[in-house]
A and B are shown apart, each in its own frame.
Chain A
Amino acid sequence: MNGGQTQLTPVPNVNFLPERDVGFMPILECRSLGIDFGGLTAVNDFNLAIGRMEIAGLIGPNGAGKTTVFNLLTKVYKPTRGAILLNGVDTLDKTSVQVSKMGIARTFQNIRLFVNLSVEDNVKIGLHNQIKYSEISGILRLPSYWRQEKKARDHARELLSIFDMQNLAEMKAGSLPYGAQRRLEIVRALAANPSLLLLDEPAAGMNPSETAELMDNIVKIRDTFQIAIFLIEHDMQLVMGICEGVCVVNFGNIIAKGTPNEIRNNPEVIEAYLGKGFARDFESRKH
């Protein structure tokens, strides 16, 4: 993990961080990140820093390149340009598995659960690198197997209890209702013990009361696990409600960064994404 330790140098226009996180190295830093798919530039000159315990939002119209940013961060795609620093360490040439071990975990826009396995097994798979016994102890069922499996089971139930899902542990993941599947994906990602959690449209398909509950839980997760959360969302109630910093992309380029308040009133963002009258509607809906 060492060796790639890069000195933090000021990059123009990198960021403001929430006051709490100022003075600490950002958990994530993207420098001039970009990727082309053939002739299409999906992400370009993406600069961003996220504080250690920040809840940050990524918004923008459909096809703006938001999911692509997540895919770059988790090494599903290799960036064409630029650098990604996780906790100050360059992730160039790292694989998905390696960056996962470095502390990045994610959920997917189109849910990717292990649908044929039980809810508990889905979480235990997330715990894979936290469970430590060899293949041989597993086959021979040595004491370390029983000890660690019991620990994993308890840990899995504990994580499921965040969303009050411990009683669903035996169910097949694929048979859960949509909202519960989204929550299970978050639990599985948390099980990988991340320091940065990426959520790709966590509230998609949820009703307003589920969304409100989710917002509380996202804040609770950040507070209990003391991690940073970076989320993509189209639900502005959620973004404006819990994000401390918001980044807006359009056609692969960042068009604005700032606090929810600044974003809400930014004419360029209103033009490209939010639409005129958003601020007024937002205020009236809030009450």
Chain B
Amino acid sequence: MKKLSRAAKTDIFTYLLATAGFLAAQCIQGAGLMSSSLKGQLVPICAYVVMAISLNLTVGILGELSLGHAGFMSIGSFSGVVAAVALEPVIPAPEIRLASAMVIGAVCAGGAGILIGVPVLRLRGDYLAIVTLAFGEIVLNLTNCLYVGTDSQGLHISMLTSAEALGLASDGRVIINGPVGASGITRLSSFTAGFILILITLFIVQNLVNSRTGRAILAVRDNRISAESVGISVTKHKMIAFVLSAVLAGAAGVLFALNMNTIVPTKFNFNTSILILVFVVLGGLGKIWGSIIAAAVLTVLPEALRGFSNYRMLAYAIVLILIMLLTNSPFIKSVLGRMRVPFNGRRNT
């Protein structure tokens, strides 16, 4: 039998972790043991997991700080909502419509990623952090005054001050209404769809990292000068990682939005970007499975801590610190390392 490399083992562990989480949630739900508020969290958890994995690609694997990841999620969300409405007559099947909306949302977010990446990723230094910070705010402001409607004539888009400016015909319908956001969204997302998106994300990110391109991205992160000295283009590989990260965030945004009745632009503000960054940092930079756990636990936690009422934020902070200690403690690492010995079937002497 062929021996699996350590990277392959970690990848398989990550797939198993995601699958186990999904099945556990399904069982608890099936047994009727899940609170309704937690049920409502299932799809958002999937969306945040994808957000965290995709941000880990930029921050952990590429090593560039991005402070506007929610901006890509926002672009994905709103373009996905519009796509879902516009495609309704063409694609009646909800699953296929969801998938198509995700592709469109992903492409739009990826386009924004290219727009930012081309000028910024050529520079050395922490410019990406500053520019993505501004990007998040710009997206927030633009979506705040974005009006989109549809009628028999097709789509109408306006950046003016009210939905009237769209000039919709009498059969028209407003899809996005400026600061009020999108409402009356047909729910297309499901927990299963979210799980599939997580698997696809894992597949793309993990396979990329273990390929020639992924090694080049890691090389660029670890030592730019030596990467260039063996003929690896720094800008190209920064672009690949950053744009792919934006694409996945766009898809996550669509999943998130098509699970809601209403979605407002301010949902995707700076706080959300930071929250996702917290998932990534707590889960461990470059550790995909860490991002999954951190995103899931920290999304469920505020609900779970409801019983502590006054001490909720305190408990939240304590859990944050505990996760940080756990994922980075040398003691835990050495314990895990020892546990892995029988798993590998070989002993270090």
Which of A's residues lie within 8 Å of B, judged by CB? 74, 76, 95-97, 100-101, 105-106, 108, 112-117, 121, 124-126, 128-129, 131, 133, 135, 138-141, 145, 148-149, 152, 170, 188-189, 191-192
Assess the B230–A133 pair: CB atoms within 8 A: no
A151 to chain B, nearest CB (A): 11
Is B226 in the interface zone, CB < 8 Å from A?
yes
Q: In the complex, how many angstroms separate the beta carbon of B343 from the nearest chain A beta carbon?
A: 16
Considering only residues 235-268 of chain B, those with a C-beta below 8 Å from chain A are: 240
A97 and B208 contact, CB distance less than 8 A: no
Interface set of B (CB-CB < 8 Å, partner A): 6, 203-204, 207-208, 211-216, 218-219, 222-223, 225-234, 240
Known A114-B218, A117-B222: A138·B229 in contact at CB below 8 Å:
no
Find out whether the CB atom of A114 lies under 8 angstroms from the CB atom of B226.
yes
Contact A189 to B229, CB < 8 A, known contacts A114-B222, A135-B240: yes
Residues of A within 8 A of B214 (CB): 138
Q: Which residue of A lies closest to B222 (CB)?
A: A114
- A102 to B, closest residue via Cβ: B231
| Chain B contacts for A121, CB-based, 8 A | 215, 218
B118 to nearest A CB, angstroms? 17
- A-B pairs with lowest CB-CB distance, top 10: A138-B211, A100-B231, A96-B228, A112-B226, A114-B222, A192-B230, A125-B219, A129-B231, A126-B230, A139-B207
User: Do A100 and B229 touch (CB < 8 A)?
Assistant: yes
User: Using Cβ atoms and an 8 Å threshold, which residues of chain B touch A129?
Assistant: 230-231
In the bound complex, do residue B223 and residue A114 qualify as a contact, i.e. CB atoms below 8 Å apart?
yes
Q: Report how far A129 CA is from B215 CA in the complex, Å.
A: 12
Most B CB atoms within 10 A — which of A95, A139, A141?
A: A139
B204, B211, B228: the one within 8 Å of A97 (CB): B228
For A112, give the chain B residue with the smallest CB separation: B226
Contact B222 A97 (CB under 8 A): no
Tell me the bound Cα distance from A176 to B207 in angstroms.
Answer: 27
Kindly report which residue of chain A lies nearest to residue B228, judged by CB atoms: A96
Question: A138 near B218 (CB under 8 angstroms)?
Answer: no
Residue contact A139 to B232, C-beta cutoff 8 Å: no
**In the complex the two chains form, is A189's CB within 8 Å of B230's CB?**
yes
Measured CB to CB, the closest approach of chain B to A107, in angstroms, equals: 9
Q: Which residues of B contact A117 (CB under 8 A)?
A: 215, 218-219, 222
- Report Cα–Cα, A152/B219, bound state, in Å: 16
Q: Is the CB of B225 within 8 A of A113?
A: no
For this complex, 29 residue pairs linking A to B, each with C-beta atoms less than 8 Å apart, are: A95-B228, A96-B225, A96-B228, A97-B234, A100-B228, A101-B231, A113-B226, A114-B219, A114-B226, A121-B215, A121-B218, A125-B215, A125-B218, A125-B230, A128-B215, A128-B230, A135-B213, A135-B240, A138-B207, A138-B212, A138-B213, A139-B204, A139-B211, A145-B211, A149-B212, A152-B212, A170-B6, A188-B226, A192-B231
Contact between A97 and B231 (Cβ–Cβ < 8 Å)?
yes
